[in-house]
Amino acid sequence: MSGSAHTEDFLNFDEAVEFLRTTPSTLYKWLQADKIPAHKLGRQWRFVRRELEAHLAGHSGGQSGGQNWGSAAGPGTLSSTATRARLHQEILKFASFLSNRRSALSQPLSPSKEEKMEFEASRLAESLIWDAFDQQSPLIHISPRAGRYEISYRSNSGLEQLTLISEDLFHALDHSWRSNSQSIHREDSRRLLLLRENQVRENPERSFEEVVQVRYEKLQTANGPRLLLRLWSAEKVAPSLEKAVQSEATRQTFLKWLSRSHGMLVIAGGPASGKTTTTLSMLRHLQEQRLAVFSIEDVAEILIDGVQHVEMAQRSDEALREAFERVYASDPDVVALGMGELGELETPALQSALRAAKSGHLVILHLDAKSHEDVSDRMLRALGRDYEDHLIGISIQRLEPTGRGSEMRATYQLKEYSKLA
Protein backbone atom coordinates (compact mmCIF):
# COMPACT_ATOMS: atom_id res chain seq x y z
CA MET A 1 0.00 0.00 0.00
CA SER A 2 1.08 3.54 -0.58
CA GLY A 3 2.76 5.18 2.37
CA SER A 4 0.76 8.36 1.73
CA ALA A 5 -2.58 6.65 2.32
CA HIS A 6 -4.23 7.39 5.63
CA THR A 7 -5.27 4.60 8.02
CA GLU A 8 -8.95 5.50 7.67
CA ASP A 9 -8.68 4.78 3.90
CA PHE A 10 -7.90 1.12 4.61
CA LEU A 11 -10.71 -1.46 4.67
CA ASN A 12 -10.60 -4.97 6.11
CA PHE A 13 -12.34 -7.91 4.41
CA ASP A 14 -15.77 -7.37 6.00
CA GLU A 15 -15.66 -3.61 5.34
CA ALA A 16 -14.80 -4.27 1.69
CA VAL A 17 -17.77 -6.66 1.41
CA GLU A 18 -20.03 -3.89 2.72
CA PHE A 19 -18.43 -1.23 0.51
CA LEU A 20 -18.76 -3.35 -2.65
CA ARG A 21 -22.26 -4.53 -1.71
CA THR A 22 -21.38 -8.13 -2.37
CA THR A 23 -20.99 -11.29 -0.28
CA PRO A 24 -17.87 -12.73 1.39
CA SER A 25 -17.76 -15.74 -0.93
CA THR A 26 -18.13 -13.57 -4.06
CA LEU A 27 -15.37 -11.20 -2.91
CA TYR A 28 -13.16 -14.21 -2.20
CA LYS A 29 -13.75 -15.49 -5.76
CA TRP A 30 -12.79 -12.06 -7.16
CA LEU A 31 -9.61 -12.11 -5.07
CA GLN A 32 -8.72 -15.60 -6.28
CA ALA A 33 -9.26 -14.48 -9.89
CA ASP A 34 -7.34 -11.20 -9.31
CA LYS A 35 -10.39 -9.17 -10.34
CA ILE A 36 -10.28 -6.65 -7.50
CA PRO A 37 -7.43 -4.43 -6.20
CA ALA A 38 -6.27 -5.78 -2.85
CA HIS A 39 -3.21 -6.28 -0.67
CA LYS A 40 -2.45 -9.28 1.55
CA LEU A 41 -0.75 -8.76 4.90
CA GLY A 42 0.12 -12.19 6.23
CA ARG A 43 -3.18 -14.11 6.00
CA GLN A 44 -5.39 -11.03 6.01
CA TRP A 45 -6.68 -9.00 3.08
CA ARG A 46 -6.62 -5.22 3.16
CA PHE A 47 -8.14 -2.80 0.66
CA VAL A 48 -7.59 0.86 -0.14
CA ARG A 49 -10.87 2.75 -0.47
CA ARG A 50 -9.70 5.00 -3.32
CA GLU A 51 -8.53 1.94 -5.30
CA LEU A 52 -11.93 0.33 -4.90
CA GLU A 53 -13.67 3.56 -5.91
CA ALA A 54 -11.51 3.78 -9.04
CA HIS A 55 -12.19 0.13 -9.81
CA LEU A 56 -15.95 0.60 -9.51
CA ALA A 57 -15.84 3.74 -11.63
CA GLY A 58 -14.13 1.79 -14.38
CA HIS A 59 -16.50 -1.19 -14.09
CA SER A 60 -19.87 0.47 -13.63
CA GLY A 61 -22.64 -2.04 -13.99
CA GLY A 62 -20.13 -4.91 -13.80
CA GLN A 63 -19.06 -6.42 -10.50
CA SER A 64 -21.14 -4.62 -7.92
CA GLY A 65 -22.52 -7.94 -6.73
CA GLY A 66 -26.05 -6.58 -6.55
CA GLN A 67 -28.83 -8.94 -7.53
CA ASN A 68 -32.05 -8.09 -9.23
CA TRP A 69 -35.13 -10.24 -9.16
CA GLY A 70 -36.69 -9.22 -12.44
CA SER A 71 -39.70 -10.63 -14.22
CA ALA A 72 -37.72 -13.75 -15.13
CA ALA A 73 -37.40 -14.71 -11.50
CA GLY A 74 -40.74 -16.50 -11.55
CA PRO A 75 -42.81 -16.75 -8.35
CA GLY A 76 -41.66 -14.32 -5.74
CA THR A 77 -40.76 -11.56 -8.21
CA LEU A 78 -40.56 -8.17 -6.52
CA SER A 79 -43.25 -6.61 -8.67
CA SER A 80 -44.58 -4.01 -6.27
CA THR A 81 -43.51 -1.71 -3.46
CA ALA A 82 -45.77 -3.60 -1.06
CA THR A 83 -44.14 -6.92 -1.97
CA ARG A 84 -40.67 -5.46 -1.51
CA ALA A 85 -41.59 -3.96 1.86
CA ARG A 86 -43.10 -7.24 3.04
CA LEU A 87 -40.03 -9.19 1.95
CA HIS A 88 -37.75 -6.65 3.60
CA GLN A 89 -39.50 -7.19 6.93
CA GLU A 90 -39.29 -10.96 6.44
CA ILE A 91 -35.53 -10.69 5.84
CA LEU A 92 -35.03 -8.67 9.00
CA LYS A 93 -37.18 -11.05 11.03
CA PHE A 94 -35.23 -14.09 9.84
CA ALA A 95 -31.91 -12.30 10.37
CA SER A 96 -32.92 -11.58 13.96
CA PHE A 97 -33.93 -15.21 14.40
CA LEU A 98 -30.53 -16.45 13.21
CA SER A 99 -28.69 -13.88 15.33
CA ASN A 100 -30.46 -15.17 18.42
CA ARG A 101 -29.13 -18.64 17.56
CA ARG A 102 -25.56 -17.25 17.66
CA SER A 103 -25.22 -17.79 13.95
CA ALA A 104 -22.55 -16.52 11.59
CA LEU A 105 -24.01 -13.05 11.03
CA SER A 106 -20.90 -10.96 11.66
CA GLN A 107 -22.80 -7.68 11.42
CA PRO A 108 -26.49 -6.83 11.94
CA LEU A 109 -28.46 -6.22 8.77
CA SER A 110 -29.43 -2.62 8.12
CA PRO A 111 -33.21 -2.15 8.52
CA SER A 112 -33.37 1.32 7.01
CA LYS A 113 -32.16 1.06 3.39
CA GLU A 114 -34.61 -0.82 1.20
CA GLU A 115 -32.28 -0.51 -1.79
CA LYS A 116 -29.86 -2.86 0.00
CA MET A 117 -32.42 -5.65 0.30
CA GLU A 118 -30.87 -7.90 -2.34
CA PHE A 119 -27.50 -7.57 -0.61
CA GLU A 120 -29.09 -8.37 2.75
CA ALA A 121 -30.88 -11.43 1.34
CA SER A 122 -27.55 -12.68 0.01
CA ARG A 123 -25.89 -12.27 3.38
CA LEU A 124 -28.85 -14.02 4.97
CA ALA A 125 -28.48 -16.97 2.56
CA GLU A 126 -24.86 -17.35 3.66
CA SER A 127 -25.75 -16.97 7.33
CA LEU A 128 -28.29 -19.80 7.17
CA ILE A 129 -25.59 -22.12 5.83
CA TRP A 130 -23.12 -21.06 8.51
CA ASP A 131 -25.78 -21.57 11.20
CA ALA A 132 -26.29 -25.17 10.03
CA PHE A 133 -22.52 -25.62 9.85
CA ASP A 134 -22.08 -24.32 13.41
CA GLN A 135 -24.86 -26.67 14.57
CA GLN A 136 -22.92 -29.53 12.91
CA SER A 137 -25.83 -30.34 10.63
CA PRO A 138 -24.69 -31.64 7.22
CA LEU A 139 -28.05 -31.16 5.47
CA ILE A 140 -30.54 -28.31 5.13
CA HIS A 141 -34.02 -29.21 3.82
CA ILE A 142 -36.30 -26.42 2.57
CA SER A 143 -39.72 -27.85 1.74
CA PRO A 144 -43.04 -26.31 0.56
CA ARG A 145 -45.75 -26.32 3.22
CA ALA A 146 -49.20 -24.84 2.47
CA GLY A 147 -47.97 -21.65 0.84
CA ARG A 148 -44.92 -21.32 3.08
CA TYR A 149 -41.55 -23.08 3.28
CA GLU A 150 -40.22 -25.15 6.16
CA ILE A 151 -36.49 -25.05 6.91
CA SER A 152 -35.23 -28.19 8.66
CA TYR A 153 -31.81 -29.48 9.66
CA ARG A 154 -30.88 -33.16 9.49
CA SER A 155 -29.78 -34.66 12.82
CA ASN A 156 -29.23 -38.18 14.14
CA SER A 157 -32.86 -38.26 15.28
CA GLY A 158 -34.32 -37.14 11.95
CA LEU A 159 -35.40 -33.78 10.50
CA GLU A 160 -35.59 -30.98 13.06
CA GLN A 161 -37.70 -28.00 12.06
CA LEU A 162 -35.91 -24.69 12.31
CA THR A 163 -38.63 -22.27 11.20
CA LEU A 164 -41.14 -21.39 8.49
CA ILE A 165 -40.49 -18.64 5.94
CA SER A 166 -42.62 -16.97 3.29
CA GLU A 167 -42.61 -17.93 -0.37
CA ASP A 168 -41.07 -14.53 -1.22
CA LEU A 169 -38.15 -15.11 1.14
CA PHE A 170 -37.68 -18.65 -0.19
CA HIS A 171 -37.27 -17.31 -3.73
CA ALA A 172 -34.95 -14.53 -2.52
CA LEU A 173 -32.67 -17.05 -0.79
CA ASP A 174 -32.87 -19.43 -3.75
CA HIS A 175 -31.91 -16.64 -6.14
CA SER A 176 -28.87 -15.79 -4.03
CA TRP A 177 -27.62 -19.39 -3.90
CA ARG A 178 -28.09 -19.82 -7.64
CA SER A 179 -26.38 -16.51 -8.43
CA ASN A 180 -23.29 -17.42 -6.39
CA SER A 181 -22.90 -21.03 -7.53
CA GLN A 182 -21.86 -23.09 -10.54
CA SER A 183 -24.02 -25.71 -12.20
CA ILE A 184 -22.97 -29.38 -12.22
CA HIS A 185 -24.20 -30.91 -15.49
CA ARG A 186 -27.67 -29.33 -15.03
CA GLU A 187 -29.11 -26.08 -13.69
CA ASP A 188 -30.79 -27.58 -10.61
CA SER A 189 -27.61 -29.27 -9.39
CA ARG A 190 -25.02 -26.73 -8.31
CA ARG A 191 -21.86 -26.17 -6.25
CA LEU A 192 -21.20 -23.25 -3.91
CA LEU A 193 -18.12 -22.36 -1.84
CA LEU A 194 -18.40 -20.08 1.19
CA LEU A 195 -15.56 -18.45 3.09
CA ARG A 196 -15.58 -17.15 6.64
CA GLU A 197 -12.62 -15.35 8.20
CA ASN A 198 -12.40 -15.76 11.98
CA GLN A 199 -10.20 -13.86 14.39
CA VAL A 200 -7.95 -15.87 16.72
CA ARG A 201 -8.93 -14.87 20.24
CA GLU A 202 -5.39 -14.95 21.64
CA ASN A 203 -4.14 -12.59 18.94
CA PRO A 204 -6.65 -10.25 17.26
CA GLU A 205 -4.12 -9.55 14.49
CA ARG A 206 -4.21 -13.18 13.39
CA SER A 207 -7.08 -14.89 11.66
CA PHE A 208 -7.92 -18.19 9.99
CA GLU A 209 -10.25 -19.03 7.14
CA GLU A 210 -13.07 -21.56 7.24
CA VAL A 211 -14.43 -22.87 3.96
CA VAL A 212 -17.64 -24.81 3.60
CA GLN A 213 -18.55 -26.57 0.36
CA VAL A 214 -22.25 -26.67 -0.47
CA ARG A 215 -24.03 -28.97 -2.90
CA TYR A 216 -27.35 -27.44 -4.05
CA GLU A 217 -30.10 -29.72 -5.36
CA LYS A 218 -33.48 -28.39 -6.48
CA LEU A 219 -36.41 -30.72 -7.05
CA GLN A 220 -39.72 -29.70 -8.59
CA THR A 221 -42.59 -31.35 -6.71
CA ALA A 222 -46.37 -31.11 -7.04
CA ASN A 223 -46.30 -28.89 -3.93
CA GLY A 224 -43.66 -26.54 -5.32
CA PRO A 225 -39.87 -26.42 -5.61
CA ARG A 226 -37.85 -28.09 -2.86
CA LEU A 227 -34.19 -27.49 -1.94
CA LEU A 228 -31.56 -29.68 -0.36
CA LEU A 229 -28.27 -28.10 0.68
CA ARG A 230 -25.50 -30.57 1.57
CA LEU A 231 -22.60 -29.11 3.56
CA TRP A 232 -19.00 -30.29 3.72
CA SER A 233 -15.86 -29.01 5.35
CA ALA A 234 -12.82 -30.30 3.49
CA GLU A 235 -10.82 -30.07 6.72
CA LYS A 236 -13.24 -32.53 8.37
CA VAL A 237 -13.96 -34.81 5.40
CA ALA A 238 -10.34 -34.82 4.18
CA PRO A 239 -8.10 -34.17 7.20
CA SER A 240 -4.37 -34.69 7.19
CA LEU A 241 -3.27 -38.31 6.81
CA GLU A 242 -2.05 -38.24 10.41
CA LYS A 243 -5.55 -37.36 11.64
CA ALA A 244 -7.37 -39.66 9.21
CA VAL A 245 -5.27 -42.77 9.95
CA GLN A 246 -4.66 -43.04 13.67
CA SER A 247 -2.78 -46.34 13.58
CA GLU A 248 0.92 -45.53 13.33
CA ALA A 249 1.76 -48.85 11.63
CA THR A 250 -1.00 -48.43 9.03
CA ARG A 251 -0.02 -44.83 8.38
CA GLN A 252 3.62 -45.76 7.81
CA THR A 253 2.58 -48.44 5.33
CA PHE A 254 0.39 -45.94 3.49
CA LEU A 255 3.24 -43.42 3.38
CA LYS A 256 5.53 -46.09 1.93
CA TRP A 257 2.94 -46.93 -0.74
CA LEU A 258 2.39 -43.26 -1.55
CA SER A 259 6.12 -42.69 -2.00
CA ARG A 260 6.12 -44.95 -5.07
CA SER A 261 6.46 -43.17 -8.39
CA HIS A 262 4.14 -45.56 -10.21
CA GLY A 263 1.76 -48.45 -9.67
CA MET A 264 -1.82 -49.04 -8.50
CA LEU A 265 -3.01 -48.59 -4.93
CA VAL A 266 -6.54 -49.79 -4.01
CA ILE A 267 -8.52 -48.22 -1.16
CA ALA A 268 -11.62 -50.36 -0.63
CA GLY A 269 -14.36 -51.06 1.85
CA GLY A 270 -18.11 -51.42 2.10
CA PRO A 271 -20.65 -48.55 2.20
CA ALA A 272 -20.06 -46.06 5.03
CA SER A 273 -16.64 -47.55 5.81
CA GLY A 274 -14.73 -44.25 5.76
CA LYS A 275 -12.76 -45.09 2.60
CA THR A 276 -13.66 -41.74 1.00
CA THR A 277 -12.00 -39.85 3.87
CA THR A 278 -8.90 -42.05 3.59
CA THR A 279 -8.66 -41.57 -0.18
CA LEU A 280 -9.15 -37.79 0.01
CA SER A 281 -6.56 -37.51 2.80
CA MET A 282 -4.11 -39.39 0.57
CA LEU A 283 -4.77 -36.98 -2.31
CA ARG A 284 -4.25 -34.06 0.06
CA HIS A 285 -0.94 -35.56 1.24
CA LEU A 286 0.26 -36.12 -2.34
CA GLN A 287 -0.53 -32.60 -3.54
CA GLU A 288 1.37 -31.25 -0.52
CA GLN A 289 4.42 -33.07 -1.93
CA ARG A 290 4.31 -30.71 -4.95
CA LEU A 291 2.89 -33.38 -7.26
CA ALA A 292 0.34 -32.92 -10.06
CA VAL A 293 -2.67 -34.74 -8.61
CA PHE A 294 -5.85 -35.41 -10.64
CA SER A 295 -9.12 -37.11 -9.76
CA ILE A 296 -11.56 -38.27 -12.45
CA GLU A 297 -15.10 -38.33 -11.08
CA ASP A 298 -18.71 -38.53 -12.18
CA VAL A 299 -19.47 -35.55 -9.93
CA ALA A 300 -16.81 -34.09 -7.63
CA GLU A 301 -18.66 -34.02 -4.32
CA ILE A 302 -15.73 -32.74 -2.25
CA LEU A 303 -13.00 -30.46 -3.59
CA ILE A 304 -9.47 -30.57 -2.18
CA ASP A 305 -7.42 -27.42 -2.67
CA GLY A 306 -4.57 -28.18 -5.07
CA VAL A 307 -6.16 -31.38 -6.46
CA GLN A 308 -7.48 -31.13 -10.02
CA HIS A 309 -10.98 -32.63 -9.94
CA VAL A 310 -12.11 -33.52 -13.46
CA GLU A 311 -15.81 -34.28 -13.93
CA MET A 312 -17.06 -36.50 -16.72
CA ALA A 313 -19.48 -34.93 -19.19
CA GLN A 314 -21.83 -37.86 -18.62
CA ARG A 315 -21.79 -41.27 -17.00
CA SER A 316 -20.59 -43.54 -19.79
CA ASP A 317 -17.63 -45.64 -20.90
CA GLU A 318 -16.86 -43.10 -23.64
CA ALA A 319 -16.99 -40.14 -21.24
CA LEU A 320 -14.66 -41.87 -18.78
CA ARG A 321 -12.12 -42.67 -21.48
CA GLU A 322 -12.32 -39.13 -22.85
CA ALA A 323 -11.73 -37.65 -19.37
CA PHE A 324 -8.81 -40.01 -18.85
CA GLU A 325 -7.21 -38.98 -22.16
CA ARG A 326 -7.49 -35.31 -21.21
CA VAL A 327 -5.91 -35.95 -17.82
CA TYR A 328 -3.27 -38.23 -19.33
CA ALA A 329 -2.25 -35.38 -21.67
CA SER A 330 -1.92 -32.97 -18.70
CA ASP A 331 1.33 -34.43 -17.31
CA PRO A 332 -0.13 -35.99 -14.11
CA ASP A 333 1.94 -37.56 -11.36
CA VAL A 334 -1.08 -39.07 -9.60
CA VAL A 335 -4.49 -40.09 -10.95
CA ALA A 336 -7.40 -41.11 -8.71
CA LEU A 337 -10.29 -43.12 -10.12
CA GLY A 338 -13.52 -44.38 -8.60
CA MET A 339 -14.60 -41.60 -6.23
CA GLY A 340 -18.28 -42.41 -5.90
CA GLU A 341 -19.74 -45.61 -7.29
CA LEU A 342 -18.05 -46.97 -10.43
CA GLY A 343 -20.68 -49.62 -11.15
CA GLU A 344 -20.75 -50.40 -14.86
CA LEU A 345 -17.69 -48.18 -15.41
CA GLU A 346 -15.43 -50.40 -13.30
CA THR A 347 -13.85 -52.33 -16.17
CA PRO A 348 -12.84 -49.27 -18.28
CA ALA A 349 -11.65 -47.55 -15.07
CA LEU A 350 -9.43 -50.51 -14.15
CA GLN A 351 -8.08 -50.70 -17.71
CA SER A 352 -7.24 -46.98 -17.65
CA ALA A 353 -5.60 -47.38 -14.23
CA LEU A 354 -3.37 -50.20 -15.46
CA ARG A 355 -2.35 -48.19 -18.51
CA ALA A 356 -1.37 -45.23 -16.33
CA ALA A 357 0.54 -47.43 -13.89
CA LYS A 358 2.49 -49.05 -16.72
CA SER A 359 3.49 -45.64 -18.08
CA GLY A 360 4.98 -44.39 -14.81
CA HIS A 361 2.04 -42.87 -12.91
CA LEU A 362 0.76 -43.50 -9.40
CA VAL A 363 -2.93 -44.49 -9.50
CA ILE A 364 -5.29 -44.59 -6.52
CA LEU A 365 -8.40 -46.74 -7.05
CA HIS A 366 -11.40 -46.17 -4.78
CA LEU A 367 -13.59 -49.31 -4.84
CA ASP A 368 -16.61 -50.70 -3.03
CA ALA A 369 -15.34 -54.11 -1.92
CA LYS A 370 -15.33 -55.99 1.39
CA SER A 371 -12.31 -58.29 0.97
CA HIS A 372 -8.93 -58.59 -0.72
CA GLU A 373 -10.24 -61.61 -2.61
CA ASP A 374 -13.15 -59.61 -4.02
CA VAL A 375 -10.78 -56.88 -5.29
CA SER A 376 -8.36 -59.43 -6.75
CA ASP A 377 -11.11 -61.35 -8.54
CA ARG A 378 -12.56 -58.20 -10.12
CA MET A 379 -9.14 -56.97 -11.25
CA LEU A 380 -8.34 -60.40 -12.66
CA ARG A 381 -11.56 -60.46 -14.71
CA ALA A 382 -10.94 -56.97 -16.07
CA LEU A 383 -7.16 -57.08 -16.56
CA GLY A 384 -5.85 -60.63 -16.51
CA ARG A 385 -2.82 -61.65 -14.47
CA ASP A 386 -0.85 -58.68 -15.79
CA TYR A 387 -2.26 -56.43 -13.06
CA GLU A 388 -0.29 -58.17 -10.26
CA ASP A 389 3.02 -56.83 -11.59
CA HIS A 390 1.74 -53.25 -11.24
CA LEU A 391 -0.18 -53.43 -7.94
CA ILE A 392 1.35 -51.80 -4.86
CA GLY A 393 -1.21 -52.84 -2.27
CA ILE A 394 -4.86 -53.21 -1.27
CA SER A 395 -6.44 -51.71 1.85
CA ILE A 396 -9.79 -53.04 3.09
CA GLN A 397 -11.36 -50.64 5.55
CA ARG A 398 -14.29 -50.70 7.96
CA LEU A 399 -15.61 -48.57 10.81
CA GLU A 400 -15.87 -50.03 14.30
CA PRO A 401 -17.25 -48.50 17.51
CA THR A 402 -14.71 -47.15 19.96
CA GLY A 403 -16.90 -47.78 23.01
CA ARG A 404 -17.26 -44.02 23.56
CA GLY A 405 -20.88 -43.28 22.67
CA SER A 406 -21.49 -43.18 18.91
CA GLU A 407 -17.83 -42.53 18.08
CA MET A 408 -16.37 -44.79 15.38
CA ARG A 409 -12.81 -45.48 14.25
CA ALA A 410 -11.42 -46.89 11.02
CA THR A 411 -9.62 -50.24 11.02
CA TYR A 412 -7.61 -51.55 8.08
CA GLN A 413 -6.57 -54.87 6.60
CA LEU A 414 -3.57 -54.32 4.34
CA LYS A 415 -2.07 -56.57 1.69
CA GLU A 416 1.19 -55.64 -0.01
CA TYR A 417 2.34 -56.86 -3.40
CA SER A 418 6.10 -57.27 -3.10
CA LYS A 419 7.15 -56.30 -6.64
CA LEU A 420 6.19 -52.65 -6.12
CA ALA A 421 5.53 -52.25 -2.38
pLDDT one-digit tens code per residue, 208-250: 567 889 999 999 999 999 999 999 887 788 888 898 898 999 9
Q: How far is CA 70 from the centre of its chain?
A: 29
pLDDT tens digit string along 318-332? 999 999 999 999 999
Question: 265 falls in which pLDDT band (50, 70, 90)?
Answer: very high
Question: Can you give the residue ranges of every domain in the chain?
Answer: 8-58, 76-232, 236-416
State residue 121's pLDDT score: 81
Least trusted range by pLDDT, from 24-33, 134-143, 274-283, 322-331? 24-33
Q: What is the mean pLDDT of residues 360-374?
A: 93
Give the span between the Cα atoms of 264 and 394, in whole angstroms.
Answer: 9
pTM confidence score = 0.69
- Give, in order, the Cα–Cα distances in Å from 29 to each of 116, 180, 226: 21, 10, 27
pLDDT tens digit string along 134-153? 888 999 999 999 889 999 99
State residue 94's pLDDT score: 85
DSSP state of 194: E
Question: Which residue would you say has higher pLDDT here, 244 or 57?
Answer: 244
β-strands 391-401, 263-269 pairing:
parallel
Element (H, E) at 311: strand 308-311
State residue 61's pLDDT score: 43
Task: Tell whether the model's pLDDT for residue 131 goes beyond 60.
Answer: yes
Under CATH, which architecture does the 8-58 domain have?
Answer: Orthogonal Bundle (1.10)
Q: What is the mean pLDDT of residues 259-264?
A: 94
Q: What homologous superfamily does CATH list for 236-416?
A: P-loop containing nucleotide triphosphate hydrolases (3.40.50.300)
Which of 12-16, 201-205, 305-309 is modeled with the greatest confidence?
305-309
3-state DSSP of 6-73 = CHHHEECHHHHHHHHCCCHHHHHHHHHCCCCCCEEECCEEEEEHHHHHHHHHHCCCCCCCCCCCCHHH
Question: Which residue would you say has higher pLDDT here, 297 or 30?
Answer: 297
Task: Categorise residue 65: left if φ over 0, alpha if ψ from -120 to 50, beta otherwise.
Answer: left
Q: How far is CA 252 from the centre of its chain?
A: 29
Least trusted range by pLDDT, from 59-68, 87-96, 234-243? 59-68
- Cα three-residue angle 30-33-38, rounded to 5 degrees: 60
Give the span between the Cα atoms of 109 and 107, in whole angstroms.
Answer: 6
Question: Which residue would you say has higher pLDDT here, 109 or 378?
Answer: 378
C-alpha dihedral sign at 239, 240, 242, 245: positive
Q: What is the mean pLDDT of residues 355-365?
A: 94
Task: Tell whether the model's pLDDT for residue 2 goes beyond 50.
Answer: no
Instruction: Return the CATH class of domain 76-232.
Output: alpha beta
Task: Tell whether the model's pLDDT for residue 83 goes beyond 90.
Answer: no
Q: What is the mean pLDDT of residues 9-21?
A: 84
